[in-house]
Amino acid sequence: NKLLSIALKQANIYLVTKSAAYNWDLCAAHAIIQSINGQILDLRQVINYYQENRTKQNVNLSQFEIIYNNIKPNKFQPKDYAC
């Protein structure tokens, strides 16, 4: 797996330029990469951001990390599902 090469530090970047990668293909490798403080970013979001904010420095790239689920706070209440 190409992402495993990142986790093993055999490569610094793996660039996917087409939308053929699905979240379920990335999820396990992403967890391993996160465990060594790495990130998998949405390249489109990064490019769009930098086109609009060329002069900004020290940008936190975490805001562009792939999100697998978008849980909204206070949306799920366990008491709503209790018997």
Domain boundaries, the chain: 2-81
CA distance 36 to 77: 33
Q: How far apart are CA 48 and CA 46, in angstroms?
A: 6
Contact 7, 36 (CB under 8 A): yes
Distance CA 30, CA 82 (A): 33
Average pLDDT over residues 1-28: 79
CA distances from 68 to 9, 26, 79 (A): 24, 10, 25
Q: Is the pLDDT reported for residue 55 higher than 70?
A: yes
Model pTM score:
0.65
Q: How far apart are CA 29 and CA 52, in angstroms?
A: 31
